[in-house]
Structure 1
């Protein structure tokens, strides 16, 4: 594993469609960055760590079976993700954060275009550096 994995859990679409637009913005999205033993967790990422052990994330250990790993958990509402992604995908953002946040932004733009399409990101940061994003159910 040369780049971290980014596991993202979004509520099922049928749950989102039944909610009013104002309620959708409060939908909670969980992302877990997984770093293998050959990739240390960069300081810029470790200081962004958020963990809430009250709600379990269905973590597929078979994806990283046999790998020494460090997990960084991000748990935010869509409104909070919007605010976070606005500032962590800029050219001045540390590369370790852009590695996680740019693929997350692109994923959010795809799934919630009305909320995230207004955010620009550092297009000079090459896609080969992006974390591998895996959507989870």
Structure 2
């Protein structure tokens, strides 16, 4: 009888501790390999990432969040352009990890081009999946 009571208490304690968990944590990693600083407008705030730095944003609730990138142009640039996913929507589900990488090119004519690449651990396009008819 004592063994059954101990087992019951251990199972109850385990269930209580599991129910206190927040679940998988969402994370966004911003890696700025570009020559200039970037500023990510996200959830009503500006996140500055200096050239060569990497910043992690954790504990983000599930949902869809718009983002926009603003960038500084290095000294000596006569023209500039951007390419890639400089703005868009982050779709976060439980345990999503998003990596945003910024790179740049400074050509001989003085043109500075910044590139943005966004990848997600949830690269499945959920809108195109039909759960009734696969």
The TM-score, its normalising length taken from structure 1, stands at 0.31
Instruction: Give the number of the structure whose residues are more often helix, by fraction.
Output: 1
**Higher Cα Rg, which structure:** 2
The TM-score, its normalising length taken from structure 2, stands at 0.32
Higher relative contact order (CA 8 A, sep 6+): 1
Instruction: Give the number of the structure whose residues are more often strand, by fraction.
Output: 2
